[in-house]
Amino acid sequence: MSTPADTLDDLVVPSSSVAPSGLYGRKLSIILANNQGTGLDFSKFRVVFNIMRGDNQTPNSADIRIYNVSQATVIKVLSEFTQVSLSAGYVNANYGLLFQGYVKQYRVGRVDQKDSYIDITAADGDQAYNFAPVFLSLKSGTTQGGIAEALKSALAAKGIATEYGYIPPLPTNPIIRGKVMFGMARDETRTFAHTNDIKWSIQDGALTFIPTTSYIPATVVTLSPSTGLIGVPEQTQQGINIRSLINVNLKIGQLVRLVSSDINQLRLGLDKESQAVTNPSIALQASPSSNGLYYIMVANHSGDTRGNPWYTDMVCLAVDATLAPGQLPSSLSNPILAY
């Protein structure tokens, strides 16, 4: 439950922001709440945000600045509110939750004599990541799915969801000996992920497993200049950099279809090794996809309700790339991602 922030501070959000793709009217909701879920809605203030999301185990994070909040409200925020939820998009489409997590730090300051601010640094699932222990003894015959459940329960004890964000089919063969898990849940989860050739992360407060050579099956978002694509995608050694208007449907581990034949190519170094491109995995993951499909590895969202930024910046990997002969690990076949 949330209530509007004090009306003396309310600032009017521009009502006619028009996106070149035909998306009209920027929309944002930001709520600060206490541990019981009761809080204040700051959606009418000027808000600047930068949300960083990736498919690695490091918790997703957010830096948010809210302008010109009264001193009385600042005191209330600092003393009571521990959680933040931010949703953004457009009035007619692509609106939804971009970030939800626990506040790690508040900072109060001024830009000048007219404008003050309160800065928020928050993280998604960091309590479970940093403080969840696991002390378990699993009997022989436990399956990999049973181990995953045990890890999820250990992390859920520190605040993440009791349901998976996504989990792929796991091997069904049971372990032949008993297994002891002792230590930090994140370390045991990392070992489990490595054993099963998957990646793990916490997405929107839920434990998420993604196969190293595959992706999360979901509706594929199509990006073109008429649906939000901004500028020209850029090839880098880390992957293909793509910028679009904010789109909540561009989620970590899922696919995006790029409807554009224009991709600025990477400049290789002048040394012999760079010119030869001796690492097939790097060459393939940074290459444009022949069918326009890309795996979303990083999706950072940035915006300013009174400025120009309103973007989703992605780093993506080509899908359906084929590793060179001899480069495929013996345990894998028909890789979907050149990862």
Residues 80-89: what's their mean pLDDT?
96
Among 124, 143, 177, residue at a domain's last position = 124
Using the predicted structure, report yes or no on whether residue 130 has a pLDDT greater than 80.
Answer: yes
Report the percent of the chain where pLDDT is more than 90: 63
Which range of residues forms the domain containing residue 165? 128-203
In this structure, the answer to whether residues 37 and 118 fall within a common structural domain is yes
Q: Which of 1-10, 14-23, 55-64, 161-170 has the least mean pLDDT?
A: 1-10
Examine the domain organization and report whether 103 and 161 are in the same domain.
no
Please give the radius of gyration of the chain, using alpha carbons only, rounded to the nearest integer.
22
Comparison of pLDDT for 280 and 71, the residue scoring more: 71
Same-domain status, 96 and 17: yes
Q: 203, 234, 263 — which closes off a domain?
A: 203
Looking at the fold, whether 8 and 116 belong to one and the same domain comes out as yes
Q: Give me the pLDDT at residue 280, please.
A: 55
Residue 94 lies in a domain: yes
pLDDT greater than 80 at residue 321 = no
Q: What integer best gives the mean pLDDT of the chain?
A: 84
132 token code pair? 């969840």
Does one domain contain both 7 and 104? yes
The CATH number that applies at residue 74 is: 4.10.410
Whether residues 160 and 196 share a domain: the answer is yes
In a domain, 154, yes or no: yes
Domain match, 253 and 266 both: yes
Does the residue 45 lie in any domain?
A: yes
Arithmetic mean of pLDDT, 159-183? 92
pLDDT at res. 54: 95
Whether 95 is in a domain gets the answer: yes
Given a cut of 90, is residue 105 above it in pLDDT? yes
Dist CA 314 CA 300 (whole Å): 6
In a domain, 212, yes or no: no
Determine how many CB atoms are found less than 10 A away from the CB of residue 6. Answer: 13
**Is residue 330 predicted with pLDDT exceeding 60?**
no
For residues 193 and 172, membership in a common domain is answered with: yes
Per-residue pLDDT reduced to its tens digit, 176-234: 988 899 999 999 999 999 999 999 999 999 999 999 888 999 989 999 988 889 999 98
For range 21-46, the mean pLDDT: 89
Give how many domains the chain has, as a whole number: 3
250-287 per-position pLDDT tens digit: 999 999 999 877 787 777 667 666 655 545 555 555 56
Could you report the per-residue pLDDT of 38-63, keeping only the tens digit for each? 999 999 999 999 999 999 889 999 99
Residue 229: CATH number of its domain: 2.40.30
Check: pTM over 0.75? Answer yes or no.
Answer: yes
More confident site: 17 or 130: 130
Q: 99-105: list long-range contacts, CB under 8 Å, 24+ apart.
A: 99/49, 99/51, 99/53, 99/60, 99/62, 99/124, 99/301, 100/124, 100/204, 100/205, 101/59, 101/60, 101/61, 101/62, 101/125, 101/126, 101/205, 102/126, 102/127, 102/159, 103/32
Half-sphere exposure of 70 (CA within 13 A, CB side): 10
Indicate if 33 and 86 belong to the same structural domain. Answer: yes
Asked, for residue 55, whether it belongs to a domain, the answer is yes
Residue 208 inside a domain? The answer is no
Confidence of residue 242 (pLDDT cuts 50, 70, 90): very high
Give pLDDT tens digits for 277-291.
Answer: 545 555 555 567 778
Taking Cα atoms as reference points, which of 138, 203, 192, 202 lies closest to residue 170? 192
* Same domain assignment for residues 30 and 110: yes
Under the banding of pLDDT at 50, 70 and 90, the label for residue 335 is very low
35 shares a domain with 115: yes
Cβ atoms of 46 and 68 closer than 8 Å:
yes
- The pLDDT, as a whole number, for residue 3 is 42
**Same domain? 112 vs 16:** yes
Whether 249 shows a pLDDT value over 80: the answer reads yes
Read off the pLDDT of residues 133-146 as tens digits, 9 standing for 90 and up.
999 899 999 999 99
CB 289: neighbour CB atoms within 10 A? Answer: 21
User: In the predicted model, is pLDDT for residue 22 greater than 70?
Assistant: no
Asked if the structure places residue 213 within a domain, the reply is no
- Average pLDDT, integer, range 60-89: 96
